Structure 1
Amino acid sequence: MWRFVTDFHHPVHLHLNHFQVLSRNGGPPGPFDAGWKDTVDLRPAEAVELAVRFTDHVGTFMLHCHNLEHEDMAMMGDFVTV
């Protein structure tokens, strides 16, 4: 389970795995949160909790913001599963 919190608008994209939105701001998911996702839209002062499984690949994954300015500024993160 992951929790993302932001103070700026970030459409967060996770590579290779889909996830489900469990909650938004401590309440139920929003109307556009249903189903499997690879991107979640976070507005300023929002928090979302996601459920994601990493079962098909062991190694490095990437996540990044889909705001064009942030992609151009290499605002990406990577993490390793074992």
Structure 2
Amino acid sequence: MKLALNFVFCIIFLSFKTFYYAFRKPGSLGFAVYRTWDLLVSWFFCFLAAALYLVQELCLTQKFCSFLSVFICHRTAYKRAQ
């Protein structure tokens, strides 16, 4: 539930940001490049944060530990045991 709320807020914020850039008068080429990279980086980190949180939650509930997330699972279990 927490993941879903965080992801929804992230999508809403980035949607407003995307529309703000889309309807703003185009400026220089430098601003266009900045605008494009800013949106790409923002969306990337939004999805990355959601993916990492999902892996952590799945590992904490012991429902899933794939080959790629074994290190994260063991580290999370170690921190929880302390």
TM-score, normalised to structure 2, is 0.21
Rg: which structure is higher?
2
* Higher normalized helix content (fraction of residues): 2
TM-score, normalised to structure 1, is 0.21
* Higher normalized strand content (fraction of residues): 1
Higher RCO, 1 or 2 (CA under 8 Å, sep at least 6)?
A: 1
